[in-house]
C-alpha cells in the first residue's frame, strides 16, 4: 500500500514540460541560454531564496530575498510572426515546477475529456511569467515563490513534511484555508490567501488562453467571416429579450 | 553633409512624418503631380508581411500581456515605440504627470490606432464663441464638410448618419454599412435610453466593403495589431503605397529630422536630418516643408530651429509654439452584469472594437447652464466574448470544477464604459525644450508641464456618475464608492490625442498657422498634424488630422501650380 501510494504521488508530482504547447525552437533556445547562464536558469530553490525558516510560527509569511532577474526582455521590435518563445531563461527549479503543477491541477483538474492545467503546459507559462524581466512579473515572482515556500512551511508545521509529499486530503486541508478569501479568513491565512488569489488568476489565464482553454470557455471568434458580420444568433437575441424584460428595459 | 540624390529625384516638398497627416499630405500632393520627399524617423514597415494576423494570445510571450517593451500587448503594431522610445527621452516638470506615445515606424501611429472616426461639428469648431473658453477654429463647419466627405470616402469609414446633434451627417453614399450591434451593446442601448441618452453606431475607419486594393473586414483578429488585408485603415496599406504608385513619392526611413533650416533672410530652405543607422547628418533643400511629425514632435522641431531671424524658434513669433496642448480626458467604469451570465455564446469579435457608442448628449443642458463643465464627452463601450488572454475577468474563490464554472459564468458579462472628453487649453499645459538633455541624435528633448483644470475634473465626475447610472440600469451592483475625479482621470497624454501645440487661428498674434496650416511667419512652412488644432473636441483626432491635411495640401498644390505657371509665363515672356 505504502509503495503504491508513493508511486502515485511520484507520478502525479513530477511535472513534465510540454513541448507541444509552443514550437520546439523555444526549447532549443531556452536550453542554449540556460547552458550559458547556469546561475540564472535552473537555480536551486534555496540558493535562489533566503527563507527565514527559523521563525515559522502562526501567521508566518516567508521573507524572501530574491535575486533580481536581470535578463533582457523581447525588446521594442520583436518578430511578431515568428517569435512565440520568450528570450529570457526560465528560472523555476524542478522542485518548484512540481509544486506549481500540483497547485495548477488543484485549480484546474482534468474534467472528463478536458485536460488539466498541467496537461496543457500551464506550469511552463507560469515559469515564463515569473522569470520575465518585467516589473509586474517580478512582483508576481515574489508572490508566487513566497506562496510555494509558505505551503511547505505550513505542511512542515502541520504534518512535518513538504506540501508535495502530503496526501491529497492533507493538501486540501491546507488549501481550503487559503482558497476562500471572501469568507472571514483567519489573520494567519490572509497573506497566503491573497497570494493564492493572484496565483489562481495566473493559472486560469494560462489555462483558458491555451487552445484547450479557448474551446472550453466557448470562445467562437478568431475565424474569418465572408460577407457581413452576422451579429447575435436568434438564441442570443431571445435571451436578451428575457434580460430586457427582467430588468424592465423593454420598450413600453 | 551632402545633398540627397538631387539629380535623380527633383522633389519640391519635404514632408516630415508618415502618419495620418504626413501620408495624407503626401498622397494629395503626389496625386496633384507634385514630387514629394517624405522623411520618417522610424524604420520601414510593411503590414502585409509583418502583421500578426490570427495569432492567439496564449501563443505569445506572457500571454501577450503588455510590458514596457510592448505597452499595449505583445501583438500591438507599434514598432520601436510606446510610452518610451529607446535613446529618445522626454522630461517632465516637477509634479507633472504626462505620457507621450510615439511610434518610430513608417505609418506612425496609424498602424495601431483605434480607427474611431467621428466628425467635429460647427458646435465643436466654435466653442469660444459659445462659452468664451479656449479658441475658435478659423473656419466654419460647412468649409470643412466636403473635405470630411472626401476623406471618409478615401479612408473608408463604416457607420451611419444618426441626425444626433453631436454627429454631423456625411453626404449620401459616403459611409459604409456598420456591423450589427452585439448583445451587451444592445443592453447598454436599452439602459441608456431609459436615462434619455442615445447610442449610435461607432464610425470606424474599417472597410465593410472592399476598396481600391484593400479587402473588406473579415471580423477576426484585433485591429490594434495592424491589418494585413488593409480593411482597418493605416497609411502603410493605403495612402503611402498609393502615393508611391504615382512615381512622385520617395521615402527615407530612419531619418530623424533635427532642424528646419532658414537662409540669411529667415526664409525656410530645407531641413537637416540624422540618419539613425550611421549617424550621418544630411541637409536637404526644399521649396516647401510640411511638418507632420505629431503635434509635440513638430513643436519640438520648431522650438529647436532657432536662428537670428527666429530667436524663439521657427514660426514662433506668437510665442504659441508648444503652448495650448490638449489631450482627451480619459476615465472609465466597468461592471459585471449578472443578467448576462450564462447567455448563449456566439462570435462577438466583430470588427474587434465597439460597434455602438454613446455620443455626447448634453449640448442642450450645457446651453441652459445645467452642467458645471463646458465641454462634452462620449463613452466607448467595451464588452463581449473576447479571446481569453493574460487577464481573466471575475472575482473567484475556491478551485477545481466549481472554479471553472465561475469563470464561465463571468465570461462575456463585463461591460466597461470609457469616457473620452474634450479638454480646454490652459496655461499649465505646455511643452518647452529641456536644454539640459539631448537624445541620442544630439537633439534637445521636450519637457512637459501638465495640470488638469476644474473643467476636466467636473466633466469626469459627471461621466463617472452617468456611467454608474447606466450600469446600474443594466442590473450591475456597484458597491464601491466612485473614485474622485482627480484619481479617476488618466494622465495627460495617456489617451494619445495630444493636439494644439502649433494651433491655427485668424491672427498671427495668438496662433502659429492660418487655416491652411501655413505658418504665419514662413510662407513655405506648413504644419499638417494635430498641432494645428484650435480645440480638442471629444471625438478622436485622426479623421480631422487627415481631413485638414487633405484640404490644406490641396490648397498648397494649387499654390504651387500657380507659382509654376508664373515662372513659366516669365520664361515665355
pLDDT at A251: 80
Handedness of CA B473, B474, B479, B484 (dihedral sign): negative
Between positions 296 and 355 of B, the ones with CB within 8 A of A are 339-340, 343-351
- Please answer yes or no on whether B391 and A224 come within 8 Å at the CB atom: no
For residue A191, give how far its alpha carbon lies from the nearest alpha carbon of chain B (Å): 15
Q: Does B260 touch chain A (CB under 8 A)?
A: no
Contact between chains at B74 and A80 (C-beta distance less than 8 A): yes
Do B528 and B6 contact (CB within 8 A), yes or no? no
**CA nearest A117 in B: which residue?**
B400
Q: Give pLDDT, residue A32.
A: 31
Mean pLDDT of chain A: 82
Q: Which residue has the cell 499595449?
A: B72
- Long-range CB pairs of B518-523, under 8 A, 24+ apart, other chains included: B518/B552, B518/B556, B519/B314, B519/B315, B520/B315, B520/B317, B520/B318, B521/B310, B521/B314, B521/B315, B521/B316, B521/B317, B522/B262, B522/B266, B522/B267, B522/B268, B522/B314, B522/B315
Specify the pLDDT at position A69.
87
Secondary structure of B402-447 as H, E, C letters:
HHHHHHHHHCCCEEEEEEEECECCCCCCEEEEEEEEECCCCCEEEE
Residue with cell 544630411: B282
Task: Determine contact: B112 vs chain A, CB below 8 A.
Answer: no
Specify the pTM: 0.92
pLDDT of res. B320: 98
Residue A40 confidence (pLDDT) above 50 = no
Confidence band of A45 (pLDDT split at 50, 70, 90): very low
A240 and B351 in contact by Cβ < 8 A?
A: no
Q: Quote the CA–CA distance of B341 and A107 in Å, as a whole number.
A: 22
Distance CA B141, CA B124 (A): 9
C-alpha cell at position B487: 484619481
Element (H, E) at B89: none
Residues of chain A contacting B348 with CB distance shorter than 8 Å:
220-221
pLDDT band at A148 (very low <50, low <70, confident <90, very high): very high
Residues of B in contact with A111 (CB under 8 A): 401, 404
Q: What is the phi/psi pair of residue A142, to 5°?
A: -65, -45
Please tell me if residue B46 touches chain A, with a CB cutoff of 8 Å.
Answer: no
> What does the pLDDT read at residue A162?
97
The CA distance from B46 to B65, in Å, is 24
Task: Give the full edge-to-edge strand order of the sheet including B91-92.
Answer: B91-92, B444-449, B430-438
Contact B99, B491 (CB under 8 A): yes
Please, which pLDDT band fits residue A252 given cuts at 50, 70 and 90? low
Q: How far is A5 from chain B (nearest CA, A)?
A: 22
Residues 6+ apart with CB under 8 A from B94: none
Smallest CA–CA distance, residue A77 to chain B, in Å, is: 5
Contact status of A217 with chain B (Cβ, < 8 Å): yes
Nearest chain B residue (CA) to A218: B345
Question: Mapping DSSP to helix (H, G, I), strand (E, B) and coil, where does residue B11 land?
Answer: coil
Give the residue on B whose Cα is nearest the Cα of A21. Answer: B59
Is the pLDDT assigned to residue A47 strictly greater than 80?
Answer: no
Asked if A221 lies within 8 A of B177 by C-beta distance, the reply is no
ipTM of the complex, rounded to two decimals? 0.95
pLDDT tens per residue across span B35-80: 999 999 999 999 999 999 999 999 999 999 999 999 999 999 999 9
Task: Output the pLDDT for position B4.
Answer: 52
Q: Name the more confident of A84 and A98.
A: A98
Q: Does B363 touch chain A (CB under 8 A)?
A: no
Q: Is B391 on the interface with A (CB under 8 A)?
A: yes
Of all residues in chain B, the percent with pLDDT exceeding 70 is: 99
Over the range A188-207, which residues count as b (16 or more CB within 10 Å of their CB) and which as e? Answer: bbebbbebbbebbbbbbbbb
**Residue (of B223, B213, B97, B204) closest to B493 by Cα position:** B97
* B 457-516 residues with CB < 8 A to A: 473-475
Q: What is the pLDDT of residue A18?
A: 61
pLDDT band at B568 (very low <50, low <70, confident <90, very high): confident
Q: Report the C-alpha gap between B559 and A168 in whole angstroms.
A: 83
Distance of alpha carbon B357 from the chain centroid: 18
Do residue A236 and residue B346 have CB atoms under 8 angstroms apart?
Answer: yes
Model confidence at A44: pLDDT above 70: no
- What are residue B333's DSSP bridge partners? B417
| Residue B477 confidence (pLDDT) above 70 | yes
Give DSSP secondary structure letters for B181-228: PPHHHHHHHHHHHHTT---EEPPBSB-SS-BTTBPPP-S-S-GGG--T
Residues 6+ apart with CB under 8 A from A245: none
- Rounded Cα distance between B301 and B322, Å, is 10
B491: cell is: 494622465
Sign of CA dihedral A223, A225, A229, A231: negative
Question: Over chain B, what is the mean pLDDT?
Answer: 97
Cβ distance B73 to B65 under 8 Å? yes
pLDDT exceeds cutoff 90 at B195: yes
pLDDT of the residue at B73: 97
Q: Looking at residue B289, what is its pLDDT?
A: 98
Mean pLDDT to the nearest integer, B286-300 = 98
CA–CA dist A176, A186 (Å, integer) = 12
Per residue in A169-221, pLDDT tens?
Answer: 999 999 999 999 865 667 889 999 999 999 999 999 999 999 999 999 999 99
Interface with chain A: mutation pick from B404, B412, B471, highest number of A CBs within 10 Å: B404
Q: How many CB atoms lie within 10 A of CB B242?
A: 19
Quickly state the pLDDT bin for A8 (edges 50, 70, 90): very low
CA–CA separation, B329 vs B461, rounded Å?
11
The dihedral region occupied by B7, where left means phi > 0, alpha psi between -120 and 50, and beta the remainder, is alpha
User: Please, which pLDDT band fits residue A10 given cuts at 50, 70 and 90?
Assistant: very low
Distance CA B43, CA B27 (A): 20
pLDDT at A22 exceeding the cut of 70: no
Answer whether residue A42 shows pLDDT above 90: no
Whether B156 and B207 have beta carbons less than 8 Å apart is answered as yes
Query: pLDDT: is A252 or B40 the higher one?
Result: B40
Query: What are B393's three cell numbers?
Result: 475577468
CA atoms within 13 A on the CB side of B240: 32
* pLDDT at A3 > cutoff 90: no
Average pLDDT of span B126-141? 97
Instruction: Choose between B390 and A24: higher pLDDT.
Output: B390
- Cα–chain-centroid distance for residue A121? 10
Across the interface, whether the CB atoms of B392 and A247 are under 8 A apart is answered no
For the stretch B194-219, what's the b/e string if a residue is b when 16 or more beta carbons lie within 10 angstroms of its beta carbon?
Answer: eeebebbbbbbbbbbeebeebebbbb
Summarised one tens digit per residue, pLDDT across range B316-373 is 999 999 999 999 999 999 999 999 999 999 999 999 999 999 999 999 999 999 999 9
At residue B296, the pLDDT reads 98
DSSP per residue, B292-352 = -S-HHHHHHHHHT---SS-TTSTT-TTS-TT-S-B--EEEEEEEE-GGGTTPPP----TTS
Q: Phi/psi of residue B382, each to 5°?
A: -110, 125
What pLDDT, on a 0 to 100 scale, did the predictor assign at position A41?
A: 28
Task: Give the confidence band of A70 by pLDDT, cuts at 50, 70, 90.
Answer: confident
Residue-by-residue DSSP string for B255-275: EEEEEEEE-TTS-EEEEEEEE
What does the pLDDT read at residue B371? 98
Q: Binning pLDDT at 50, 70 and 90, where does residue B82 land? A: very high
Over the stretch B239-271, which tens digit does the pLDDT of each residue have? 999 999 999 999 999 999 999 999 999 999 999
Residue A58, pLDDT score: 55
Question: B390 and A197: CB-CB below 8 Å?
Answer: no
d(CA B505, CA B509): 9
pLDDT in the model for residue A83: 77
Strands B255-262 and B356-358: unpaired
A134, A210, A247 ranked by CB distance to B339: nearest: A247
pLDDT of B213 strictly over 80? yes
Q: Which three cell numbers stand for residue A75?
A: 525588446
Amino acid at each position: 500500500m505504502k509503495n503504491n501510494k508513493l508511486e502515485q504521488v511520484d507520478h502525479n508530482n513530477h511535472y513534465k514540460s510540454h513541448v507541444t504547447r509552443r514550437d520546439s525552437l523555444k526549447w532549443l533556445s531556452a536550453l542554449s541560454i540556460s547552458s550559458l547562464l547556469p546561475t540564472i536558469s535552473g537555480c536551486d530553490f534555496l540558493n535562489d531564496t533566503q527563507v527565514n525558516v527559523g521563525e515559522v510560527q502562526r501567521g508566518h509569511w516567508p521573507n524572501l530575498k530574491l535575486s533580481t532577474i536581470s535578463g533582457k526582455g523581447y525588446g521594442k521590435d520583436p518578430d511578431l510572426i515568428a517569435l512565440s518563445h520568450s528570450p529570457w531563461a526560465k528560472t523555476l527549479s524542478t522542485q518548484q515546477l512540481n509544486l506549481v503543477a500540483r497547485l495548477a491541477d488543484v485549480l484546474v483538474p482534468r474534467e472528463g475529456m478536458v485536460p488539466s492545467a498541467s496537461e496543457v503546459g500551464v506550469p511552463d507559462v507560469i515559469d515564463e511569467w515569473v522569470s520575465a524581466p518585467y516589473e509586474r512579473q517580478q512582483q508576481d515572482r515574489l508572490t508566487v515563490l513566497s506562496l510555494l515556500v509558505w505551503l511547505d512551511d505550513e505542511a512542515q508545521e502541520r504534518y512535518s513534511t513538504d506540501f508535495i509529499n502530503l496526501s491529497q486530503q492533507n493538501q486540501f486541508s491546507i488549501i481550503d484555508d487559503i482558497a476562500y478569501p471572501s469568507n472571514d479568513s483567519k489573520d494567519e491565512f490572509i497573506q497566503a490567501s491573497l497570494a493564492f488569489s493572484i496565483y489562481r488568476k495566473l493559472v486560469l489565464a494560462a489555462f483558458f488562453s491555451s487552445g484547450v482553454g479557448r474551446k472550453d470557455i466557448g470562445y467562437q471568434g478568431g475565424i474569418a467571416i465572408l460577407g457581413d458580420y452576422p451579429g447575435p444568433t436568434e438564441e442570443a437575441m431571445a435571451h436578451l429579450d428575457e434580460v430586457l424584460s427582467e430588468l424592465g428595459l423593454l420598450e413600453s | 553633409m551632402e545633398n540627397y540624390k538631387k539629380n535623380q529625384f527633383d522633389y519640391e516638398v519635404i514632408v516630415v512624418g508618415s502618419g495620418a497627416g504626413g501620408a495624407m499630405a503626401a498622397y494629395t500632393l503626389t496625386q496633384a503631380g507634385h514630387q514629394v520627399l517624405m522623411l520618417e524617423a522610424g524604420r520601414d514597415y510593411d503590414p502585409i508581411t509583418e502583421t500578426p494576423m490570427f495569432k492567439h494570445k496564449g501563443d505569445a510571450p506572457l500571454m501577450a500581456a503588455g510590458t514596457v517593451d510592448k505597452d499595449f500587448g505583445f501583438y500591438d503594431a507599434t514598432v520601436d515605440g510606446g510610452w518610451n522610445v529607446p535613446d529618445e527621452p522626454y522630461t517632465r516638470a516637477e509634479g507633472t504627470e504626462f505620457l507621450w506615445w510615439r511610434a518610430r515606424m513608417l505609418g506612425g501611429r496609424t498602424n495601431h490606432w483605434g480607427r474611431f472616426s467621428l466628425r467635429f461639428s460647427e458646435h465643436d469648431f466654435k466653442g469660444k464663441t459659445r462659452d468664451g473658453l479656449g479658441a475658435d477654429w478659423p473656419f466654419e463647419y460647412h468649409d470643412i464638410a466636403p473635405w470630411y466627405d472626401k476623406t471618409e470616402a478615401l479612408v473608408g469609414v463604416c457607420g451611419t448618419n444618426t441626425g444626433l446633434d453631436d454627429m454631423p451627417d456625411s453626404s449620401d453614399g459616403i459611409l459604409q454599412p456598420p456591423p450589427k450591434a452585439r448583445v451587451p451593446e444592445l443592453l447598454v442601448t436599452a439602459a441608456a435610453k431609459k436615462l434619455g441618452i442615445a447610442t449610435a453606431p461607432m464610425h470606424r475607419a474599417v472597410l465593410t466593403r472592399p476598396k481600391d486594393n484593400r479587402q473588406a473586414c473579415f471580423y477576426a483578429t484585433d485591429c490594434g495589431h495592424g491589418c494585413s488585408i488593409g480593411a482597418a485603415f493605416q497609411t502603410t496599406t493605403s495612402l503611402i503605397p498609393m502615393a508611391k504608385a504615382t512615381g512622385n513619392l520617395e521615402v527615407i526611413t530612419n531619418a530623424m529630422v533635427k532642424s528646419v533650416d532658414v537662409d540669411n533672410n529667415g526664409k525656410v530652405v530645407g531641413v537637416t536630418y540624422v540618419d539613425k543607422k550611421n549617424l550621418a547628418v544630411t541637409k536637404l533643400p526644399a521649396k516647401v516643408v510640411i511638418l507632420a511629425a505629431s503635434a509635440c514632435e513638430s513643436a519640438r522641431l520648431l522650438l529647436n530651429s532657432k536662428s537670428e531671424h527666429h530667436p524663439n524658434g521657427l514660426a514662433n513669433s506668437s510665442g504659441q509654439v508648444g503652448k495650448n496642448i490638449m489631450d482627451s480626458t480619459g476615465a472609465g467604469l466597468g461592471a459585471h452584469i449578472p443578467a448576462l451570465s450564462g447567455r448563449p455564446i456566439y462570435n462577438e469579435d466583430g470588427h474587434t472594437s465597439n460597434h455602438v457608442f454613446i455620443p455626447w448628449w448634453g449640448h442642450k443642458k450645457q446651453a441652459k447652464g445645467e452642467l458645471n463643465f463646458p465641454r462634452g464627452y462620449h463613452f466607448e463601450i467595451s464588452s463581449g466574448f473576447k479571446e481569453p488572454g493574460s487577464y481573466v475577468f471575475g472575482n473567484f474563490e475556491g478551485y477545481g470544477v466549481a472554479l471553472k464554472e465561475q469563470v464561465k459564468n463571468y465570461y462575456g458579462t463585463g461591460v466597461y464604459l470609457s469616457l473620452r472628453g474634450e479638454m480646454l487649453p490652459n496655461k499649465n499645459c505646455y511643452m518647452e525644450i529641456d536644454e539640459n538633455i539631448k537624445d541620442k541624435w544630439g537633439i534637445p528633448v521636450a519637457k512637459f508641464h501638465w495640470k488638469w483644470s476644474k473643467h476636466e475634473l467636473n466633466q469626469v465626475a459627471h461621466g463617472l456618475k452617468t456611467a454608474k447610472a447606466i450600469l446600474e440600469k443594466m442590473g450591475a451592483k456597484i458597491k464601491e464608492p466612485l473614485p474622485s475625479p482627480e484619481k479617476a482621470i488618466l494622465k495627460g497624454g495617456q489617451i494619445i490625442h495630444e493636439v494644439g501645440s502649433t494651433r491655427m487661428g485668424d491672427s498671427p498674434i495668438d496662433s502659429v498657422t492660418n487655416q491652411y496650416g501655413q505658418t504665419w511667419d514662413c510662407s513655405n512652412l506648413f504644419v499638417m498634424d494635430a498641432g494645428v488644432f484650435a480645440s480638442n473636441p471629444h471625438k478622436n483626432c485622426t479623421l480631422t488630422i487627415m481631413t485638414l491635411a487633405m484640404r490644406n495640401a490641396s490648397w498648397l498644390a494649387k499654390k504651387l501650380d500657380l507659382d509654376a505657371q508664373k515662372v513659366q509665363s516669365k520664361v515665355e515672356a
